Amino acid sequence: MAGRRMSELPKAYEPQAVEAKWYSAWLDGKCFEADPVSAKDGYSIVIPPPNVTGILHLGHVLNNALQDILARRARQEGKEVLWLPGTDHAGIATQAKVERELRESEGKTRRDLGREEFLKRVWDWKDHHGGIIIQQLKRLGCSCDWSRERFTMDPAYSKWVSQVFVDLFREGLIYRGKRIVNWCPVSLTALSDEEVIMTPQRSKLYYMKYEVAGLPGEYLRISTTRPETLMGDTAVAVNPKDPRFAKYIGRHVVRPFPHAEIPVIADDHVDMEFGTGALKITPAHDKADFEIGARHNLPIIDVLTPDGHINCPECPDLHGMERFAARKVAAKKLEDMGALEKTEEYDNNVGFSERAHVPIEPRISMQWFLKYPCVKEAADAVANGEIQFRPERWAKTYAHWMENLQDWCISRQLWWGHQIPVWYRKDKLGELTQAESLDTSHQTHGDLYVGVEPPADPENWVRDEDVMDTWFSSWLWPFATMSDVGDSSATLKKFYPTADLVTGPDIIFFWVARMIMAGYRFAGELPFRNVYFTSIIRDLQGRKMSKSLGNSPDPIDLMEKYGADGLRFGLLRIAPVGSDLRFDETSVEEGRNFANKLYNACRFRQMGGEISNLKFEISNGAALPPYHLDIMAKLDKLAADLKESYAEYRFGEIAQLLYEFLWSEFCDKFLEAVKLDLRESATAEAREAALGVFDTVMARYLQLMSPYMPHITEELSARMGYVAEGDFLMTRPLPAAPLLAGLPAEAVAAAQQQAADIYETAGRLRNLKAEYKVATRKDVKFIVKGASGWLANETKVLALLVGASEIVLDDAYDAPKGTPASVTPVGEIYLPLEGLIDVAAERLRLTKEIEKIRAEVARAESKLSNPSFVDRAPAAVVEQERARLDDWRAKLTQLDEMLAALA
């Protein structure tokens, strides 16, 4: 701290300018850039890449603030840190956005433009408007290595995606087949199971009756929620064990429209209890029906268009009609025909498209599927703790999913994305696209070309039009961002596997699980060691934040109002460990207030001026006043506690510890206690000791706070002269030794006890003043009887803390009857108040207090007289109880004496 220069602080803390200033200073100083060949140990995090179309919301703030804290703390711990940033091309979301703009501004669809031109537009859009969120992350203070920013459609990254497809295809894990998939009638693409959100719906259950062919007047009753797909029915199924329907199995029933006879079949899948016990089978439009159809070789009739309209020319009144309108018309039609018996209200779950928010349509189509690789390794890694989930309970959810894996539908009927690297022989195209399934055998035949590079004779080939699911690129993120294909670069060597992944539990399946599998399969190792699942942020009513509800505050607005540090700290301080977070703007306000408190503490210090000739040495600390040793000991404890909390990823607790230290310990106690030493009247030694301790503690405190509030701590460290010009707080390693490492523990403990006694006594005396309505008077005098010996040195401080003119030590003091008094850790203390003494009132007050203490004594006595307790409780607990009892008894004696004196 020698040669320090302080610059004066402005009157109020204004975070905006300060935060912008330091962020660019860090960038200029290359503080965020990772050196893959440094001597330090590597520490890395890859950012969960936000959608390139994304706008920062509170979830991002929480998530990225946590990563920033981890990264900054790791730097302080002497690690070489890589926080690798980037964005995701987000297939459906981005394409939909550009398509909407195209429609609105030019009235065109993507097909009007053609694939090539449309993709050009998307890239244009991405270059001009994409990546806003990156700027917003910078505003938040994120210490990412921006020189390594990646995009999931960068050429090198795309190459990885293709290579992985090719490898998995060759391995036989990727195949093409005609299956029932989740079809989004708005986005016009297949979706994976994970992109379907089951949503409770109030629906109707329709009860129909079909006449049994050859048995006029006999009917089979069937219940359904989807009469509009009736035209696609190719059977009616009953349970083979169901006696009610046994006689009909093998017969036919009459489908009302278009009129046809369809077989009654028996299948175990049918639940006898539900509805009528008879199920209409529509293989083209229901997954279970498709499977039943396959078991019984039923024909498949597709009666819906890709965009969810009826396709059934035999029923002109329904043909072309939108699916939900058609449902009503179909029901009416049945009613008119006398085939509808009744309609019931019915609650069921319907799958909705995650993106388009409309019910998905199970639909048969030709898609590419993946059988997951390295499933066992991935499941074991989490089960045996090699990869640690926090909170741990998510491991169970993960395990459950891993046990029930279904093949992943990876093709999407979009243009924006990684195009499937498969080419079909032109002359076999028709045959191939209709094939029930395609796999490596077709490649061997030379009908298919599967490769990262296009075929050498492109004129003979046609490329598959589909692109891959966005997550098929995301799952490669941890290693594909660190290297080109086949490159074992220094970066990969130093920073892979990554240390921590911070993400939301809502994407365990979408992303986390798949990354683990991809990590084992393609990088030969787990991709990260710890996964920290963040809270989901809700509003005060417990609703999820959403645009449509308008309950999602704009973090940029919050930062303008309260500063990035205020937002970060406020949010982190209320973030619970394992549950959802209920957000309220007042917590951000508290964060801002806290920054201001910190700032003002330093401003106060500056009034003390520079220490011209710093004589302060902690090694002489035994001679320091108790408050000085106390606050340094507490700082040491804070540092140790934080270390422990970081090890357990208890971020909210860390914020709370930092908050309490500064506000309750440093400002409320230490700063008040040393004010006397900073006055003109104080000796130079006292002044320098106080200022020296302030600087020593504050310099370390700012460093501990730095990961949470990087800007203000950097600013104050510079302004106060704790960090030399041109240097940065954020790049400094944490000091290895505690402040008081060299001092005898007993001396420190004794000083801490004295400080605690003084603070405790100050509270009691203020309380006494308030009770006697003289809280604001400064001219009162307290008299201490039976004072501890050391108190004589501290009466001035105590007087200052309490707001008294004097604290007099007088063992011979004979209190006038009714003198207000309090029993304190340092003795009996009286507050003589001429003219205010009311003996009756004082007796009442004392009596009440005595009652309270008697109850405590009785409680402690009964506990200690219980042999079970004394014998079986740990000795320390019993001892503690004894000490407590002694305290209460001593107090009781004193109070009894006081009461007696009043008589």
Residues 626-665 that bind RNA (CB under 7 A): 652-653, 656, 660, 663-664
Could you say whether residue 767 binds RNA (CB under 7 A)?
Answer: yes
By CB under 7 A, residue 226 contacts RNA: yes
Is residue 93 near RNA by the rule CB under 7 A? no
Stretch that binds RNA, among 63-71, 247-255, 524-532, 764-772 (CB under 7 A): 764-772
Distance of closest approach, residue 842 Cβ to RNA, in angstroms:
17
Cα angle value 304/307/310 (rounded, 5°) = 30
Taking CB under 7 A as the rule, which mask of x and - marks residues 251-280 in contact with RNA? ------------------xxxxxxxxxxxx
When asked if residue 590 is in the footprint of RNA (CB under 7 A), the reply is yes
User: Is the Cβ of residue 261 or residue 672 nearer to RNA in the bound state?
Assistant: 672
Q: Which residues contact 228 (CB under 8 A, 6 or more apart)?
A: 310, 318, 323, 324, 326, 327, 329, 330
Q: Minimum CB separation from RNA for residue 803, in Å?
A: 6
- CA 126 – CA 265 distance, rounded (Å): 54
Q: Is residue 63 a contact point for RNA (CB under 7 A)? A: no
Give the shortest CB-540-to-RNA separation in angstroms. Answer: 6
* Residue 176: strand, helix, or coil: strand
Q: In this structure, how many other beta carbons lie within 10 angstroms of the beta carbon of residue 853?
A: 20
Q: Which of 603, 687, 711, 719 binds RNA (CB under 7 A)?
A: 603
Considering only 130-138, 399-407, 414-422, 826-834, which stretch makes contact with RNA by CB under 7 A?
Answer: 399-407
Q: Are 23 and 138 in contact (CB under 8 A)?
A: yes
From CA 107, how far away is CA 207, in angstroms rounded?
45
Residue type, 410: I
Residue closer to RNA by CB (options 433, 530) is 530
Do 532 and 649 meet the contact criterion of CB atoms below 8 Å apart? yes
Among residue numbers 499 through 528, which ones bind RNA (CB under 7 A)? 509
Output the smallest distance, CB 870 to RNA, in A: 8
Which one, of 89, 187, 133, 47, lies nearest residue 471 by Cα? 89
Residue 549 beta carbon to RNA: minimum distance, rounded to whole angstroms: 13
581 in contact with RNA (CB under 7 A): yes
Q: Which amino acid is at 339?
A: A
Q: If binding is defined by CB under 7 A, does position 861 make contact with RNA? A: no
Taking the complex as a whole, the smallest distance from the CB of residue 762 to RNA amounts, in Å, to 7
Q: Which of 149, 439, 672, 896 is the binder for RNA (CB under 7 A)?
A: 672
Other C-beta atoms within 10 Å of 562: how many?
Answer: 23
Q: Does 223 bind RNA (CB under 7 A)?
A: yes
CB under 8 Å to 485, separation ≥6 — which residues? 156, 159, 160, 163, 452
| 872 near RNA, rule: CB under 7 A | yes
- Span 729-758, contacts to RNA by CB under 7 A: none
Residues 538-567 that bind RNA (CB under 7 A): 540, 542
Angle at 227 between CA 223 and CA 231, to 5 degrees: 115
Q: Does residue 820 have a cis peptide bond before it, meaning omega lies within 30 degrees of 0?
A: no
CB within 8 Å of 865: residues ≥ 6 apart: none
Instruction: Please say which residue, 54 or 232, places its beta carbon nearer to RNA.
Output: 232
Is residue 869 involved in binding RNA (CB under 7 A)? yes
Residue 42, phi then psi, degrees to nearest 5: -85, 145
Reported for 321-328, long-range contacts at CB under 8 A and 24+ positions apart, including other chains, are: 323/185, 323/228, 323/361, 324/228, 326/228, 327/226, 327/227, 327/228
Binder of RNA out of 178, 251, 463, 582 (CB under 7 A): 582
Looking at beta carbons only, is 15 or 86 nearer to RNA? 15
- Between 667 and 734, whose beta carbon lies closer to RNA? 667
Does 393 engage in binding with RNA (CB under 7 A)? yes
Choice from 671, 699, 705, 831 touching RNA (CB under 7 A): 671
For RNA, the closer CB: 124 or 268: 268
Scanning residues 413 to 442, which ones bind RNA (CB under 7 A)? none
Taking CB under 7 A as the binding criterion, the range among 94-102, 257-265, 545-553, 589-597 that sits at the site for RNA is 589-597
From the number of C-beta atoms within 10 Å of its C-beta (0-12, 13-18, 19+), residue 535 rates as buried
Tokens of 693: 């301790």
Q: How far is the CB of 668 from RNA (least distance, A)?
A: 4
Separation of CA 340 from chain center? 51
Provide the Cα torsion 355, 360, 366, 369; round to 10°.
60
Beta-carbon contacts of 445 under 8 Å, excluding residues fewer than 6 positions away, are: none
Q: What is the Cβ-side half-sphere exposure of residue 165, based on CA atoms within 13 angstroms?
A: 29
* Of 163 and 276, CB closest to RNA: 276
618 touches 696 (CB < 8 A)? yes
Q: Scanning residues 700 to 719, which ones bind RNA (CB under 7 A)?
A: none
Sign of CA dihedral 237, 243, 244, 250: positive
Q: Can residue 322 be called a binding residue for RNA (CB under 7 A)?
A: no
Q: Which of 481, 471, 545 is nearest to 509 (CA)?
A: 471
| Cα distance between residue 520 and residue 843, in whole Å | 78
DSSP string, 204-221: EEEEEEEEBTTSTT-EEE
**Residue 763 touching RNA (CB under 7 A):** yes
Residue list 605-624, contact with RNA (CB under 7 A): 607
When asked if residue 202 is in the footprint of RNA (CB under 7 A), the reply is no
Is residue 580 a contact point for RNA (CB under 7 A)? yes
Q: Are strands 361-370 and 408-409 parallel, antiparallel or unpaired?
A: antiparallel
Stretch binding RNA (CB under 7 A), from 127-135, 152-160, 396-404, 730-738: 396-404
Q: Does 805 bind RNA (CB under 7 A)?
A: no
Residue count at the site for RNA (CB under 7 A)?
A: 84
Stretch binding RNA (CB under 7 A), from 128-136, 461-469, 584-592, 703-711:
584-592
Contact window for RNA (CB under 7 A) among 97-105, 321-329, 400-408, 409-417: 400-408
Query: CA 590, CA 573: separation in Å to the nearest integer?
Result: 10
Q: Which is nearer to RNA, 47 or 642 (CB)?
A: 642
Q: Is 848 in the site for RNA (CB under 7 A)?
A: no
Cis peptide before 258 (omega within 30 of 0): yes
Task: Please say which residue, 356 or 857, places its beta carbon nearer to RNA.
Answer: 857
Distance from C-alpha of 567 to C-alpha of 279, rounded to nearest angstrom: 56
Please give the distance of CA 680 from its chain centroid, rounded to a whole number. 51
Pick one of 306, 786, 803, 832: the residue that binds RNA (CB under 7 A): 803
Token reading at 181 = 């998939």
Site string for RNA, 156-195 (x = CB under 7 A): -------------------------------------xx-
Residue 668, interface with RNA (CB under 7 A)? yes
Interface with RNA in residues 10-29 (CB under 7 A): 12-13
Tell me the window of 180-188, 378-386, 427-435, 771-779 that interacts with RNA (CB under 7 A). Answer: 771-779
Interface with RNA in residues 874-893 (CB under 7 A): 874, 877, 880, 884
Q: Which lies closer to RNA via its Cβ, residue 87 or residue 239?
A: 239
Segment near RNA (CB under 7 A), from 66-74, 81-89, 391-399, 524-532? Answer: 391-399
Under 8 Å between Cβ of 334 and 227: yes
Per CB under 7 A, the list member of 24, 348, 488, 893 interacting with RNA is 348
- Residue of the chain from 129, 295, 396, 848 that contacts RNA (CB under 7 A): 396
- Least Å distance, CB 217 to RNA, is 24
Bridge partners (DSSP) of residue 164 are none
Q: What pairing do the DSSP bridges indicate for beta strands 219-224 and 196-211? A: antiparallel
CB-hemisphere CA count at 13 Å for 489?
13
**Smallest distance from the beta carbon of 359 to RNA, in angstroms?**
12
Cis amide linkage into residue 738, ω under 30° from 0: no
